[in-house]
Amino acid sequence: MSQENDPVSRHYLAISDLTASELSELLATSLQLKREKMSGGTAQILRGKTLGMLFTKPSLRTRVSFELAMKQLGGDALYLAPGEHQMGTRESVPDVARVLSRFVDGIMARVHAHSDVVTLAKYSRVPVINGLSDREHPCQALADLLTILERVGGIAGVNITYVGDANNVSNSIMLGAAMLGAHVTIASPKDYQLAPDFLALAVAYAHASGGSVTQMEDPRASVEDADVIYTDAWVSMGQETETEQREKVFPPYQVNAALVALAKPDALVMHCLPAHRGHEITDEIADGSQSGLWDQAENRLHAQKALLIRTLK
């Protein structure tokens, strides 16, 4: 079996499943598909294909973007809510993969544990896409990079600062940006910084691309000369028991007018959503002229289309 027809070669579980050239190609395809949609339509490239969508966590953007992407490309999407499959309880993860992959052409899974998408991929006979896990959010990163490409004009050489909890979202956007030559800074409290393996991989990508990766604690110093400021929730799903402690630690990392004023005058502000307004970001910034939040949300659709074509065609 040739590699291009091998489902294993087309799994998308992490940003590192792509090379820099493949990532650049996906972004170029996303832009093309967005232009096509705005000019009147999209070719029915995936006619006859079906995507199975497994959810163990709530979703707005992930479900809507993947479902509409499949429909606009001529295919179908099958939504499976947690109560319908009860993956990991009523039915084992390997068995869900074995059964579902007999019916569909690809599986997108939004899960709690990254090990679940890894197991799905191991036992599936069709490609598996990570719609979100506790380790990475690689589909969000595609939309984010597309947004930076559109709003800033490029990615190589751009100064991107992530402020807040080093989590699955920061992992993916950092790796993708470093792979494409950006200068990435992550500002987090001492006990909420990048995992060593992610930091090492990002540094390796940056070394190869001409970019850089810096980790620090000071949020104010981190945004100096920033072209992009990115933030996310202080408390992610599954961390609710840590809410009280986190809300004591993270207020200095709030993206507000005072912090944004330290960056470049036209710095783009990003958040993957949902936003906890008044916590990690203020209304003034989320709804202001520098906000890229709604472009990011829209770009999930176009990035997902490009990914689905790569995965299922």
Active site residues: 110, 137, 140, 232, 272, 300
Q: Do you know the residue count of the chain?
A: 313
Q: Compute, in degrees rounded to 10, the torsion defined by CA atoms 22, 27, 30, 36.
A: -110
Q: Which residues contact 282 (CB under 8 A, 6 or more apart)?
A: 254, 255, 256, 257
E strands, 104-192, in order:
106-110, 128-132, 159-163, 183-187
Distances (CA, A) of 239 to 146, 176, 263: 29, 25, 30
User: How do strand 159-163 and strand 183-187 relate by DSSP bridges?
Assistant: parallel
Alpha carbon distance 143, 139 (integer Å): 7
Q: Which among 103, 57, 230 has a CA at the least distance from the CA of 160?
A: 230
Rounded to the nearest angstrom, the gap between the alpha carbon of residue 25 and the centroid of all alpha carbons in its chain is 17
Q: Which residues contact 68 (CB under 8 A, 6 or more apart)?
A: 301
